[in-house]
């Protein structure tokens, strides 16, 4: 049996309202009503559990226990805490969850209270990731977030009180109208909070979102790459001063706070993908579920595969994915699998200050600070 670790991603496709920048596969209650589906947060866990059982039945000889679980969204915390715990129990019953497994849920700061968090912790969750985004009210307004900044710090304090081992916050930077002072004040708040992990993403204007429409109408300026690069530098400086280290281009942690589940993605390990639109990767095959909750529910209810399609990865696909994912990790991309041309590009990139020369001499492509800012371009060059 494969040496690869087995993770589980559970998608929860509900949000109380849609943030203007977000194009994730998520729906508000009124959108679902309009689509005439029977899917709702109240009954969602039952179908997730049915899909877990169906998935198990397809792989009876796989003896691996689950090494990490990530419940993401959408807003998983729109489900009751008991419902989230019942999903973890089902994974344990069907596959077995390894004793040291990391079990994460994403959460919006305004959808939890202390008792809710205690139920999650007692039910096996070890890690929680709050979408804070910014401490500036005007930035949160532009992003159309529903929470006030103070909510995050209260939720983090509760999470620690009830015994969560790992707590993370997500930040968005480079929002038009965000000043350097806004970002620094957000980072000062993070420094005061008891978190061991931060993910920071530059604001992407995704086609089809309200944000994209407002940018197109000229109501909001387009985020600038130069501003984003300057903001990334500020983030890296502040988080480093808090004792955190980058371990992936957009992720920093205290020692031991790295997200095991996401490392599984970046190292191309195996994972189950449960829920509408969820992606799975098992033994060199990628598959993805039908996207709409109603279509997914009817497949699950009928005992059919909820997969929309799949793709068997060949050696070239795997090599390209390895470059795209592993180059972003501080542990680096092993040079052993690279073509002659890519090796030549890596040497040039080192002379340009994008890769660490000492690591290169030891057979690894490791991004420098400048390389982190230009990682996407370097991936394209190594692919060519």
Ligand X SMILES: C[S@@+](CC[C@H](N)C(=O)[O-])C[C@H]1O[C@@H](n2cnc3c(N)ncnc32)[C@H](O)[C@@H]1O
* Residue 264 site contact among ligand SF4, ligand X, none (CB < 5 to 8 Å, cut-off depends on kind): none
Residues that bind ligand SF4 (CB under 6 A): 15, 18-19, 22, 24, 26, 73-75, 108, 131
> Contacts from 328-331 at CB under 8 Å and sequence distance 24+?
328/248, 328/249, 328/250, 328/266, 328/367, 328/375, 329/247, 329/248, 329/263, 329/266, 329/267, 330/245, 330/246, 330/247, 330/248, 330/366, 330/367, 331/247, 331/364, 331/366
Q: Are 206 and 22 in contact (CB under 8 A)?
A: yes
Residue nearest to ligand X (CB): 131
Q: Min. distance of Cβ 73 from ligand X in angstroms?
A: 5
- Considering only the stretches 41-49, 73-81, 252-260, 331-339, report the one whose residues sit in contact with ligand X under the rule CB under 6 A: 73-81
* Residue 54 site contact among ligand X, ligand SF4, none (CB < 5 to 8 Å, cut-off depends on kind): none
DSSP characters over 23-51: -SS-B-HHHHHHTT----HHHHHHHHHHH
- Considering only the stretches 70-78, 268-276, 341-349, 350-358, report the one whose residues sit in contact with ligand X under the rule CB under 6 A: 70-78
* Binding residues for ligand X restricted to 176-205, rule: CB under 6 A: 201, 203-204
Q: How far is CA 224 from CA 140, 177, 187, 220, 344, in A?
A: 18, 11, 20, 12, 31
* Residue 18 site contact among ligand X, ligand SF4, none (CB < 5 to 8 Å, cut-off depends on kind): ligand SF4
Indicate which single residue of 115, 161, 206, 376 sits in contact with ligand X (rule: CB under 6 A).
206
Q: How far is CA 310 from the centre of its chain?
A: 21
Q: Is 234 in the site for ligand X (CB under 6 A)?
A: no
Indicate which single residue of 24, 119, 123, 268 sits in contact with ligand X (rule: CB under 6 A).
24
* Residue 219 site contact among ligand SF4, ligand X, none (CB < 5 to 8 Å, cut-off depends on kind): none
CA dihedral angle for residue 323, residue 324, residue 327, residue 331, rounded to 10 degrees: -90
Q: Min. distance of Cβ 65 from ligand SF4 in angstroms?
A: 29
* Residue 170 site contact among ligand SF4, ligand X, none (CB < 5 to 8 Å, cut-off depends on kind): ligand X
Phi, psi of 222 (to 5 degrees): -75, 140
Q: Min. distance of Cβ 76 from ligand SF4 in angstroms?
A: 10
Residue whose C-alpha is closest to residue 332's, from 266, 269, 280 = 266
Count other C-beta atoms under 10 Å from residue 54's C-beta: 17
* Binding residues for ligand X restricted to 82-121, rule: CB under 6 A: 106, 108
* Binding residues for ligand X restricted to 119-178, rule: CB under 6 A: 131, 133, 170, 172
Q: How far is CA 35 from the centre of its chain?
A: 27
Q: Min. distance of Cβ 145 from ligand SF4 in angstroms?
A: 7
Give contact residues for ligand X (rule: CB under 6 A).
Answer: 21-22, 24, 72-75, 106, 108, 131, 133, 170, 172, 201, 203-204, 206
């Amino acid at each position: 049996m494969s040496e690869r670790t087995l993770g589980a991603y559970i998608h929860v496709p509900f949000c109380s309202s849609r943030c203007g920048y977000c194009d994730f596969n998520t729906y508000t209650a009124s959108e679902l009503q309009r689509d005439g589906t029977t899917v709702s947060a109240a009954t969602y866990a039952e179908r997730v559990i049915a899909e877990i059982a169906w998935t198990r039945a397809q792989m009876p000889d796989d003896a691996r226990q689950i090494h990490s679980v990530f419940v993401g969204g959408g807003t998983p915390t729109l489900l009751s805490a008991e419902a989230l715990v019942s999903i973890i129990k089902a994974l344990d019953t069907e596959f077995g969850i390894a004793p040291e497994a990391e079990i994460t849920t994403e959460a919006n700061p305004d959808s939890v209270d202390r008792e809710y968090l205690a139920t999650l912790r007692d039910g096996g969750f070890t890690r929680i990731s709050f979408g804070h985004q910014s401490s500036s009210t005007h930035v949160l307004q532009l992003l159309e977030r529903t929470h006030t900044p103070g909510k995050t710090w209260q939720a983090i304090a509760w999470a620690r009180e009830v015994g969560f081992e790992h707590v993370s916050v997500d930040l968005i930077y480079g929002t038009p109208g965000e000043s350097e002072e806004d970002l620094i004040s957000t980072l000062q708040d993070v420094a005061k909070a008891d978190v061991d992990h931060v993910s920071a993403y530059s604001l992407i204007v995704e086609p089809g979102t309200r944000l994209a429409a407002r940018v197109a109408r000229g109501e909001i300026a387009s985020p600038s790459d130069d501003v984003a690069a300057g903001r990334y530098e500020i983030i890296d400086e502040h988080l480093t001063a808090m004792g955190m280290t980058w371990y992936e281009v957009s992720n920093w942690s205290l020692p031991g706070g790295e997200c095991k589940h996401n490392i599984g993605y970046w190292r191309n390990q195996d994972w189950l993908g449960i829920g509408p639109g969820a992606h799975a990767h098992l033994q060199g095959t990628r598959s993805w579920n039908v996207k709409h909750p109603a279509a997914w529910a009817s497949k699950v209810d009928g005992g059919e595969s909820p997969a929309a399609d799949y793709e068997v990865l060949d050696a070239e696909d795997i090599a390209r994915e390895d470059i795209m994912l592993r180059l972003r990790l501080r542990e680096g991309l092993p040079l052993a699998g690279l073509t002659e041309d890519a090796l030549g590009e890596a040497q040039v990139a080192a002379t340009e200050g994008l890769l660490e020369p000492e690591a290169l001499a030891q057979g690894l492509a490791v991004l420098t600070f400048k390389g982190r800012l230009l990682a996407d371009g370097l991936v394209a060059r190594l692919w060519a």
